[in-house]
Structure 1
Amino acid sequence: MPELERTLETKLIEQLTQGVSQWTYCPELNTEEKLWANLRQIIESNNRDKLRETPLSNQEFEQVKNQLSFSSFYNAAEWIVGENGKAYVHVQRGNETLHLLVLNRAHVTGGTSVYQVINQCQTFKDEENPTESRARRFDVTLLINGLPLIHIELKNRQHSYKEAFRQIVKYAKEGQFTGIFSTIQMFVVSNDVDTKYIAAARSDELNDKFLSGWVDAENKAVPGLFDFAKTVLRIPEAHEMITQYTVLDKEKERIILLRPYQIHAIEAIRAASKRGVSGFVWHTTGSGKTLTSYKAARNLLQDIPSIEKTIFLIDRQDLDQQTTSAFQSYAENDVVDVDDTENVKELIKKLQDPTKEMIVTTRQKIQHMILRWLEKKPDSAVYKRIMNLRVAFVVDECHRAVSPETKRKMEQFFRQSLWYGFTGTPRFGENAYEKKGDLPRTTKELYGDILHAYTVKEAIHDGAVLGFQVEHLGPKGLEEDEYGNTIHEDMRVYTSKDHMYNVIDTMVNKSYEKLGFQNGGGKTYEGILTVGSIPIAQAYYDLFRQVKEGNGDVKIREDIRRVLPDFPKVAITYSLSENEEKSMVNQEAMQRSLDDYNAMFGTAYGLDQIGAYNANLNDRLARKQKKYQTRTEQLDFVIVVDRLLTGFDAPCLSTLYIDRQPMQLHNIIQAFSRTNRIFDAGKTYGQILTFQSPGTFKNKVDEALCLFSQGGEDVVLAPDWEGAEAHFIETLEELRVLVPDPAAIPAMTKKEKRVFAKVFQRFDSALKQLKAFTNFQDKNLERDYGLTDDENSAYKGHYVNVIEELRKDEPSDDGAGGEETGLDFEYTLQSYGGEIIDYEYIVALMQDFVSKDDVTSHPEKYEKQRDEITKYIQEIQHRNNKLGDIMMDLWINALRSPEEYREKQLITILEQTKRESIRKIVHDLCQTWGLDEQIVLLAAHRYEAGDEHNPYIEKSIESGDYNAFAAKHGTSLRKYQYRKAVRDALQQTFEADIVPLREGTVVIKDDDTDDISKEKSPKVIVYPESGPKKTLVAEKPSFHS
């Protein structure tokens, strides 16, 4: 029998309170009122001199409570940062303002710090909204100086730790973390055997993908609750997690808690700097090196008194702005200054300034300063001042940023410098620099000993990045040597149009799953095509243009066009050089591609603005800004030679297509790692396809993965096609042995249903993986594996019902009864989903239909096309009746008089009707509530589904005329109730009426298995008239009504 959760609480508290300067258990602090009183006592104790031994009055403490009741966890975090690490409240006492210290980040295990642990603290339900809230009891909370900063929710082993996480999300939705609990910075969840932590955030921002477990300095997991508590939750570690290892991202207004490997790396650098030695950190690409290096540079400056400056050194102008922007966002609420240098003169000014600060600059600016400016003034005081600075260099992507030759020159100039390099792909003997005299050739020779390692193997194991699914699609039957390397190739094949069209066909027609087409428009993924030269890149771009225009040898599949009618949207990027051979040809070709890009996105870039173009393309690919998260602002493919293959972060990038010869080992890993950032549930691997020298490429990939995962290539690589197919066949057989006839599932016992559900989840996962391979395009489930569509749908339908049935029977929270099942109730089916159809594709079909000259005289010729369009629109009505009704109305009118619409643009008519409908909805809403129509209309167009914090809603509420509303309706609503009612009305109207009209994609179900016990209803055509809506049951609309 698993332990009760209350027993876990008791044991945890016992452990936390053992030892000197640890937590003190305060069981009496079990209500918010008592917590406020406790905080009051601590503030008074720590500020006796400022209070002059006069305790805070009730009115004065109300000021404190108001200041410490934050609107968000992020706002609380900003306050905790404080002034030079000290957080104050400000109390007005007569004519005097008292600045009372609440928290001092430097007082760890002493000074003014008080550490308390409480449990079973009761919160109270919202009296203004009693029907939607209830009183709760929190499990365990850790207080520093009376403030709840770390909150812990526990489940016993019979439950998943994710249930504890979902409980926290529920509390956040209910508004339980308000008042004094609004200061929480970190959540911990555990079921005794698995323990995770996450930064505090709003309920809609809490995502279980970002739960982090703990590992030790050797990357060994520390999953158990009590080991985790001993390592992370004791003092000083818990205090430092909140004050030293928290970063505030100002741009996104979110708290970031560093992951354990980041903390270990920073601690290792700190220890090395105290010994006065340099070194390097090997953290795999995608694991957050920029954030780690920021904290490392910041801590060096803050913690090591002898260091006067830290210089964060990077290369490449396009990444300079990206990194500087990130650093400034992190530093805005920190106790250090981050300065980027616009020019060499500014750099020199900052270096000679006595202020301790972190400087972000490029290798090129440092070189320029040393070689051109300072060499001319060797005897100047400025020269000597800068030359003798005690400076620490932190170098991101340390092999790209600084060559061995350049680093040596910098070290000769900065005589008292320490160097800390960050790299995801170190240089070893196997991939060393070319020999140049006595210059260093490996990372160790260049920077010193390795200080901390976190390879791709560990990152994949921890869920920090994804693994890779690799397909080698080069020509078959080529001659190979004894090691499997491709030999005696005719390289001219790879520059032929046939080969290039074959690559394009794979990209546009065989990447449905890889590019996430099942997600629908605006939510698909992106791909990069990398080739060996600029002329080849330009040739590919021209061929893509031909394919998109319908003139090439590759035709885009209809099911692809149904999802994205404008697919593929392609761009090209590379560095132009006036000194390149045939540079004019390159520039002319680049200008053509810029013209296309400008036409696609309404920009105006020319050849003299390549830097701005590249920056815009980077942002568009990264999709981190909201404006790039709609289909109209997105790209599908970018063609490159080397650009973007290192240092570029775009989580929505899923696939790398490689049509070039194998790169160097470290470049292979760098390029692969553009694809394996975590994004959403559907992106399970970084997808890699190679198209040249398959034998050689496979060997090079294996060698690179072996080298950079320290022998963990089996963890890094997904099974190949043969392995994935064998696994799928195995899981299908397991499913059929267990349940030969899906119809028998409802009669199973509860225990048998649990087994079925687990087996079906494994089957679904195996099918999802199989579908991602290009080979699956030529497969048929019934023909090749004996699984009929009806059988497959039946299994899925019964599974959905079984999960809901079993979910209701889950054991109670106290752990009484039941059994451990290991069934994941939150598992999302991955291989099942309706077909996604873009409504613009349907309108294009409608346009094509009415354009036929004989559609009226010979309707029988187009009956199939008419029925297909009708079916699509009916399905849209089923999923989105607002949009579907408008489309059906237009379709019926077009069928009645095709010739009337032959010369008209149906998409224009449809968009105009949608706009008029939105205006009518907004007008009626504003008339009801007394709101400004223009402001609300703007809010309606900017609103996104589920967006509770849209600033335009706030502006709409502010525009409300309460007096006019009250006079018109004679309401008893008070003003604050009116504002809440307006907010509810806006959100409900936007969700129910506006968002559906703005949607452009619709899920078309491929089966009726949501509940297989339900009978199928006849298709319905619903269309609005001037009077009440009429509902017609019909299979086909008539041409003439």
Structure 2
Amino acid sequence: MSEESIKYGQATIAEMTGGIILAQFKKLPCAHDPSYQSEAELERDLIQNLNAQGYESFKAGSNQDLYANVRVQLERLNGVTFTDKEWDRFLLEYLDAPNDGMVEKTRKVQEDHIYDFTFDDGRVKNIQIIDKKNIHNNFLQVTHQVTQTGKHQNRYDVTILVNGLPLVHIELKKRGVNLHEAFNQVHRYSKESFNIDNSLYKYVQIFVISNGTYTRYFANTTAQNKNHYEFTCEWADAKNKAIRDLEDFTKTFFEKRVLLEVLTKYCVFDVNDTLLIMRPYQIAATERILWKIRSSYETKKAGRPEAGGFIWHTTGSGKTLTSFKAARLATGLDFIDKVFFVVDRKDLDYQTMKEYQRFQPDSVNGSKDTKELKRSIEKKDNRIVVTTIQKLNEFVKKNPGHEIYDKQCVLIYDECHRSQFGDAQKNIRKSFKKYYQFGFTGTPIFPENSLGGETTSGVFGAQLHSYVITDAIRDGKVLKFKVDYNNIKAQFRGAEREEDEKKLKKLENKMLLHPERIAEIVKYILRVFDTKTHRNDFYDLKHRRLNGFNAMFAVQSVEAAKLYYEEFEKQQACLPPEKRLKVATIYSFAANEEQRAIGEIADENFDVSAMDSTAKEFLDKVIADYNGYFKSNFSTNGNDFQNYYKDLSLKVKQKQVDLLIVVGMFLTGFDAPTLNTLFVDKNLRYHGLIQAFSRTNRILNKVKTFGNIVCFRDLEKATRDAIKTFGDENSVNIILEKTYDEYMHGFKDEETGKATRGYIDICNELVAKFPEPTEIELEADKKEFVQLFGELLRSENILRNFDEFENFEKIITDRQMQDMRSVYVDIRESLIRPRPGGGSGGEEVDFSDVEFEIDLLKTDEINLDYILALILEKSKENEDIDSLKAEVRRVIRSSLGTRAKEDLIMDFINATRLSELKNTDDILESFYKFARREKEAKIQILVDEEKLKDDSKRFIERAISKGYVDYAGDELDRILPPTSRRQGAREKKKESVLDKIRKIVEVFIGI
């Protein structure tokens, strides 16, 4: 072991396997310099540590230096020498192709890293920009303070060059500064200069942010839903212990082999052109599987349970990505003949199917036809086979004695809890002789929840790696659960509390499906739906379906699904159209098989023909309603039902379905981050309960703070039992949210000892210290106000999920709250865009440790409908026009979403005879007509002024529709007029146009 390995505790598993994730990281105590460390000193120490680890320092004073260096490094890597002419052509054809955006550059690193280049003498040679087969051939350099000019001139902190390409960028802040500052700065650079023409920084794959004390990494991606701070990740050892300090992070993550393996093996560029970087626990699990295959082969254990094992990674932690990556990497083992990646088609949604079918067409369709599977197995150049467990079972039955059974085969089961005890799995296991079998599950079967004695470890072998729900919550990778137990009517309480399965069956029709109970539950759901899903925070007559979250309703049986669906139809018929929810349902035939584990959710399949005629007839009606909603043409015939399933999963992910009623389908494996609420009228237990609850706890943004669970049966004991089984005795406090009283009055976290102030105390302090927030002048007071108001926003965002909060008597008046919001946004904008002439004088105050809760501010947006209604109301009260305008301006400025629309709304007031508008419909119609005319005029002025090409109007309209300008691809370049590239003229033109389009989008988004 090297001296460095001894010093930093790189132990056992890493040595045995060649893995990059440490089995246990222990930094020996050493004397830290207690003196103040500036950002420059942090940067200097980082570079010195990287130099000590074998990185060569490279001084890049300009962009030209980077291009000169990448030429040297690529010539070295490929053993060639380019003439100047050849190099210019290589840049033009491949490395720096015109109109290549960040997505195209990422594809080059991840998929197309070898280019067939024809030299001037006619020779054709493969030129690679990164060597993925022998990673030690790649050359690593570190550079710092590179200056690049786009919209602004930016200087970047530290960049890692791989063969001259900047593949990793590190943004530093001094200790004590909020890490969000570094994250936000990276995104500013992305908008201002990283992605300008002729910028090698488009090749960046990984961003690292650090303030010395805390360090995180994340992928460089254009995906809007992956660009939140919540998607950054901490590095960790194999036991999930976070490695946060920059020095420790550098010694591990930036160890040359580790970084190169992360870049070449543990990145995924998915079907939506989104770059994902695997998290430490995903890498650790993959490495353990590869180690197990290799060691089992060497000890000749193939064909026995001990040749494999299972991975216990909690729901929502990305098991499918991990298992698929493990399967792909297993094909690289030279002694393995075939790798089978086996999924259960009932766990697949539209997105996952697209991923698999990109790799292997028709691999996971619902057909039982095994001809394609047989061809795939027999193809010599096809090392990996992606299939469903149903199709593989069919192949085994139809092809006894096939030669594949005697080959060295790896079988990897995704979501193995669904299929581990079935006949299909046993048939497959009996047929293959030299197999290495691995299962992934978020909810293993243990002796305490097994009915037949079979357990996950009994079928798959030892547990190889775990990342349980408490790990994921601690790391911020999944959310806690807030569980309510609601007794709607006292007369049904006894039945709702019953736990005995036999007694429950008798009570089901008589009590639990009683029409009065069904009606009351539906009435309750309709009443609380907007609050639970945050719809009321964004309420907008015209655009409400673009906002908030959506929900699922788990019910006991097909009959229950039918009764609830019909009751929703009945009660919603009395509501105005804009208040109605889009309700959908799906169910199919569930064979009455003996349960193998307590809490197992009945396994529905796609065989609709096996259902009784009443259930099938109702399903036809449900699908007809769906077709009416979405202008589709699905039915219950053959594969058409599976297409309905796929389309429904997509519509739920896109928030086009408000409430989905399910019996068993979608309660396991389905991943929709937009879901935040699960209503439950079903007897959930153990792994079934955790699986169902976990549909709601995917991270999305700051507004989504936990998964909302609303139970109409008393599942309190079942919930605690499940949590203790899949966590430990102390897990309940970690996994479940605090109570309403605790959030109102404050509490102390038992695990961390950190105190959280109550909402009442925060409100009282704000009112006492800042009764007139618009009069705050001193910078120190502004900082205190911002910190207090941010605390209020965080607290209120959680409390609005509690029913009791609706009736809370406000401490801060609506008027005060509007003023506070307005001042909060003003302070933030003054920091981002300082006004000419400076601030208010006095001592300068450092705001770098303050995080502005802008996402939370948006959860209580004053929207256009509200403002227009206010204009109508004030005009009817005959309020003089100046007073009306002043009131409307005050309201507009309190809202982030409408601030940009201030001039538009004032122009509308000036141009309209308000006295002629009789009602809400009149003012809505009048305003939107006016706004559309203004939008068309503004777009035309921009097109004329900038001489944009014909397609520019469509590009701008699309940007308004999406709510942002997509500048990462080549569309923006295509609408620009011919412009010289000398001295960055074209880039300046592009930035100027981009800025103007953004301003139009800000004003007209939602119109």
TMscore range, shorter length = 0.7 to 0.9
C-alpha separation between the residues in 1 aligned to 2:1004 and 2:43? Answer: 50
Measured against aligned partners, the alpha-carbon deviations of 1:772-804 in whole angstroms (never above 9, x if no partner) come to: 11222333325xxxx544555566566556667
Q: Deviations over 1:536-573 (max 9, x none)?
A: 211111111122210xxxxx6xxxx7xx8243111111
User: CA 1:800 to 1:975, structure 2 compared with 1: closer, same or farther past 3 Å?
Assistant: closer
Residue in structure 1 matched with residue 663 of structure 2 by the alignment: 641
Structure 2 counterpart of 1:355, one-letter code:
D
| Distance 1:860-1:393 versus aligned 2 partners, 3 A rule | closer
2-structure distance, mates of 1:678, 1:270: 29
1:119 aligned onto 2:178? no
- Name the structure 2 match of 1:180: 200
Structure 2 counterpart of 1:414, from 429, 432, 435 = 432
Cα separation, 2, equivalents of 1:879 and 1:780: 32
Give, in whole Å, the separation in 2 of the partners of 1:605 and 1:721.
44
Q: Does 1:500 align with 2:518?
A: yes
Corresponding residue of 1:631:
none
From 668, 675, 695, the counterpart of 1:653: 675
Q: Residues 403 and 886 from structure 1, CA distance in 2 versus in 1: closer, same or farther, beyond 3 angstroms?
A: farther
TM-superposed CA distance for 1:295, in Å, is 0.9
Residue 191 of structure 1 pairs with residue 225 of structure 2:
no
**Shift of the alpha carbon at 1:642?**
1.3
Equivalent residue number for residue 1025 of structure 1: none
Does 2:296 correspond to 1:296?
A: no
Task: Give the aligned partner of residue 272 of structure 2.
Answer: 252
Name the amino acid aligned to 1:604. Answer: N
**Is it true that 1:431 corresponds to 2:449 in the alignment?**
yes
| 2:338 maps to 1:316 | no
Report the CA distance shift for 1:462/1:34 in structure 2 as closer, same or farther (over 3 A).
Answer: same
In structure 2, the partner of 1:720 is: 739
Give the aligned partner of residue 201 of structure 1: 221
Distance 1:906-1:765 versus aligned 2 partners, 3 A rule:
closer
Match of 1:458 among 455, 461, 471: 471
Amino acid aligned to 1:473: N
1:182 alignment partner AA: K
Counterpart in the other structure of 1:11:
45
Q: Deviations over 1:867-924 (max 9, x none)?
A: 99x999998998747986999799959948x8xx99x999899888877776677777
1:366 aligns with 2:365: no
1:638 match: secondary structure: strand
Match for residue 612 of structure 1?
Answer: 643
Q: For residues 265 and 704 of structure 1, what CA distance do their matches in structure 2 show?
A: 24
The secondary structure found in structure 2 opposite 1:2 is coil
Aligned match of 1:93: 120
> Contact conserved, 2:389 with 2:425, CA < 8 A, in 1?
no
In structure 1, C-alpha distance between the alignment counterparts of 2:169 and 2:1002, rounded to whole Å:
36
**Residue 313 of structure 1 contacts residue 401 of structure 1 at CA under 8 Å; is this kept in 2?**
no
The alpha-carbon distance between structure 1 residues 791 and 61, as it changes in their structure 2 partners (threshold 3 A), is closer
Q: Which residue of 1 aligns with 2:482?
A: 469
**Closer, same or farther: CA 387–835 of 1 in aligned 2, 3 Å:** closer
Aligned-residue offset at 1:139: 2.4
Select which of 764, 777, 780 maps to 2:793: 764
For residues 536-551 of structure 1, what are the structure 2 equivalents within 5 Å? 536-550=560-574
Deviations 1:502-526 (A, max 9, x none): 3223322223332122134211210
Q: Give me the whole-angstrom Cα distance separating, in 2, the residues matched to 1:503 and 1:983.
A: 56
**Distance in 1 between residues matched to 2:567 and 2:107, nearest whole Å:** 52
The 5-angstrom pairing of residues 271-670 of structure 1 reads 271-276=291-296, 277-302=307-332, 304-316=333-345, 319=348, 322-329=351-358, 343-371=369-397, 373-375=398-400, 378=401, 383=402, 385-432=403-450, 434-435=451-452, 441-475=454-488, 492-517=510-535, 518-520=537-539, 521=544, 522-550=546-574, 565-575=578-588, 583-608=612-637, 609-623=640-654, 634-660=656-682, 662-670=683-691
Aligned residues of 1:397 and 1:647 also touching (Cα < 8 A): yes
Q: Deviations over 1:909-961 (max 9, x none)?
A: 98888777766777777777887878845863675332234989569838x8x
| Larger Cα-atom Rg | 1
Aligned residue identity for 1:180: L
Match of 1:999 among 999, 1002, 1006: 1006
Which amino acid is the alignment partner of residue 616 of structure 1? D
User: Equivalents in 1 of 2:650, 2:492: separation in Å?
Assistant: 43
Deviations 1:164-222 (A, max 9, x none): 22222222222245533333221111111100111123597743221111111111111
Question: Aligned equivalents of 2:180 and 2:887: distance in 1?
Answer: 41
Q: Deviations over 1:464-485 (max 9, x none)?
A: 111111111125879999xx98
From 679, 696, 700, give the equivalent of 2:700: 679
2:761 aligns with one of 710, 715, 733: 733
Per the TM alignment, residue 650 of structure 1 is displaced from its structure 2 partner at its CA by 0.8
- TM-aligned CA deviation for residue 39 of structure 1: 3.3
Q: Distance in 2 between matches of 1:339 and 1:610?
A: 18
- For residues 126-145 of structure 1, give each alpha carbon's deviation from its aligned partner in whole angstroms, at most 9, with x where no partner exists: 5xxxxx32252x32222222
**Any residues of structure 2 matched to 1:49-60 within 5 Å, and which?**
51=80, 55-60=81-86
Task: Name the CA distance, whole Å, in 2 between partners of 1:611 and 1:29.
Answer: 56
Residue number among 102, 119, 135 corresponding to 1:108 in the alignment: 135
Counterpart of 2:302? none
In 2 relative to 1, CA 594–950 (structure 1 residues): closer, same or farther, beyond 3 Å? Answer: farther
CA distance in 1: counterparts of 2:930 and 2:608, whole angstroms: 55
Displacement of 1:575 after TM fit?
Answer: 1.4
What is the SS of the residue equivalent to 2:96? coil
Structure 2: distance between partners of 1:499 and 1:705: 29
**Which amino acid letter does the alignment assign opposite residue 266 of structure 1?**
T
- Counterpart of 2:321, as a letter, is L
Matched, 1:33 2:57: no
Q: 1:222 aligns with which of 212, 221, 243?
A: 243
Structure 1 Cα separation of the partners of residues 766 and 941 of structure 2:
58
The answer to whether structure 1 residue 139 and structure 2 residue 157 are counterparts is yes
Distance 1:476 1:818, change over 3 A: farther
Please list every run of 5 or more consecutive structure 1 residues that lacks an aligned counterpart in the other structure: 127-131, 551-555, 629-633, 810-816, 850-858, 963-971, 1001-1041
Query: How far apart in 1 are the matches of 2:866 and 2:876?
Result: 25
Q: Which runs of 5+ in 2 are unaligned?
A: 1-34, 297-306, 590-605, 747-755, 835-842, 893-897
Conservation of the 8 A alpha-carbon contact between 2:565 and 2:583:
yes
Deviation at 1:323, TM superposition (A): 2.7
Return the offset for 1:424: 0.7
**Larger deviation, residues 595-604 vs 281-290:** 595-604
Asked whether the equivalents of residues 198 and 257 of structure 1 are also in contact (C-alpha less than 8 Å), the reply is yes
User: What SS does the aligned partner of 1:104 have?
Assistant: coil
Q: Which moved more, 1:680-689 or 1:746-755?
A: 746-755
Distance 1:886 1:15, change over 3 A: closer
Mapped partners of 2:248, 2:380: distance in 1: 45
Provide the secondary structure at the position in 2 that maps to 1:17.
helix
TM-score by length of 1: 0.76
Q: Deviations over 1:225-244 (max 9, x none)?
A: 01111111012101111111
How far the C-alpha of 1:493 sits from its partner, in A, is: 4.0
Counterpart CA distance in 2 for 1:262 and 1:992 is 41
**Kindly tell me: are residues 828 and 747 of structure 1, through their superposed partners in 2, closer, same or farther at Cα, counting changes over 3 Å?**
closer
Distance of aligned partners of 1:722 and 1:749 in 2 relative to their CA distance in 1, 3 Å threshold: same
Contact 1:314 1:320 in 2 (8 A): no
